[in-house]
Amino acid sequence: MKKLASALAAVALLTLTACGSGSPSGSASSSAATGTSTSTTLEKTSIEVGVIPIVDVAPIYLGVQEGLFKKEGLDVTLTLAQGGAAIVPAVTSGQMDFGFSNVTSLIVGRQKGLPLKMVAAGPQTTGDEKKDFAAVVTSSDSGISDIKSLEGKKVGVNTLANISDSTVSEAVKEAGGDPTKIQFVEMPFPDMPANLASGNVDAIAAVEPFVTLAKNDGAVSIFSNYAYPVKDLTIATYFTSDDYVKQNPNTVAAFTRAMKASQTFAEENPEKAREVLSTYTKIDPAVAAKLTMPKFPQEVNKESIQKIAEIAQSRGLIPELPDMTALLPAE
């Protein structure tokens, strides 16, 4: 934790990225582990990955549980973080090998000069505005009946100047409203249902399981800001640093293969994806059975990330687009 805190202090601009705490990576190995599915020698076999305790990362937990990483010769340590500003500096400083973050944070970080490289897909929207794992939720008597009526309201988001307020703003703009009149209020996801119920905010841009928890208290969904306005949005990805890719190309390739296999396994075994949530979150099994899971594709939707980058630029989060080829996964 002390090491991670120092990394965070050294990278202060990342207060708008998404993650938490971690410990140093396992030692490097020059030989591939027994049982690997590739004959190529891995530069490192013990790796540490920074993740967040949300439904989005169920595939990587399943992949470890089902031996999909071991098949590639990788011994994986998953380090949980609560969100915010620790995984990115931990990865760029070499304290972690890979990390998980939403795409807006990675776009902003890359534009600010951080050597971030996406290497594997994370969660993707279901594409259904009425049934997605993320939603803008309001009380039944709020008077908010559609996207445009969010104009002039207080909307809770987990991080300001990031993916949630960007997608909500763009949706309101496309609906003919003025997104500059929305007052976004920063609060952790777990605090959102209570803040909505108490009237501290008029709506919340929440993710599961907090969407389901709010609905259980009588709240109603207006739309999914991940399903609209960006089509087939890749919300988050797994990433590393440019230097790590150069120094450990075979390990990166093995990690990418294992993540693709893990994403496929989670997509094809939704009940196991729900069951694994109890191993790293505090989600009640009864809630887990009801919540909406994201899609878990093998590939990053590059077009959707390009659109998110353009939205970030239009909102003033970045002065210009970063080198998207350098940021996005290699072909």
- Type of residue found at 289: A
- The pLDDT value given to residue 22: 33
pLDDT for the residue numbered 82: 62
| Confidence (pLDDT) at 3 | 40
Q: Do domains 2-124+233-327 and 134-223 have the same CATH topology?
A: yes
Query: Reduced to 3 states, what is the DSSP secondary structure of residue 142?
Result: coil
Please tell me the total number of residues recorded for the chain in this structure.
Answer: 331
For 134-223, CATH number?
3.40.190.10
User: What burial class does residue 19 get, using C-beta atoms within 10 Å of its C-beta: 0-12 exposed, 13-18 middle, 19+ buried?
Assistant: buried
Q: Is the dihedral of CA 276, 278, 238, 40 positive or negative?
A: negative
Match 């807006």 to its residue by tokens: 104
Q: Is the pTM of this model over 0.75?
A: yes
- pLDDT, position 249: 97
Got the DSSP string for 177-235? Answer: --GGG-EEEE--GGGHHHHHHHTSSSEEEEETTHHHHHHHTT-EEEE-TTTSSSTT-B-
Pairing of strands 98-102, 75-80: unpaired
In words, the CATH class of domain 2-124+233-327 is alpha beta
pLDDT digit string, tens, across residues 31-83: 333 344 445 899 999 999 999 988 999 999 999 999 999 999 999 999 988 66
CA–CA separation, 53 and 71 (whole Å):
25
pLDDT at residue 181 in the model: 97
Q: Are 85 and 17 a contacting pair, CB within 8 Å? A: yes
Confidence at residue 90, expressed as pLDDT on a 0 to 100 scale: 92
The ranges assigned to domains in the chain are 2-124+233-327, 134-223
Q: Specify the pLDDT at position 142.
A: 95
* Chain centre to alpha carbon of residue 22: 17
Question: Token pair 């009526």 is at which residue?
Answer: 149
Give the closest residue to 100 by CA, choosing from 112, 118, 124.
118
How far is Cα 269 from Cα 223, in angstroms, rounded to an integer? 27
- In angstroms, the Cα distances linking 237 to 107, 124, 174, 300 are 11, 9, 26, 8
Q: What is the pLDDT along the chain (331 residues), one digit of tens a residue?
A: 434 444 433 433 333 333 333 333 333 333 333 344 445 899 999 999 999 988 999 999 999 999 999 999 999 999 988 665 679 999 999 999 999 999 999 999 999 999 999 999 999 999 998 899 999 999 999 999 999 999 999 999 998 999 999 999 999 999 999 999 999 999 989 999 999 999 999 999 999 999 999 999 999 999 999 999 999 999 999 999 999 999 999 999 999 999 999 999 999 999 999 999 999 999 999 999 999 999 999 999 999 999 999 999 999 999 999 999 999 998 7
Which residue type does 138 have?
T
Alpha helices in the chain (DSSP H): 2-10, 58-65, 68-71, 87-92, 103-111, 163-174, 192-198, 210-216, 242-247, 249-268, 270-276, 285-290, 302-314, 324-327
134 touches 207 (CB < 8 A): yes
| Per-residue H/E/C for 28-59 | CCCCCCCCCCCCCCCCCCEEEEEECCCHHHHH
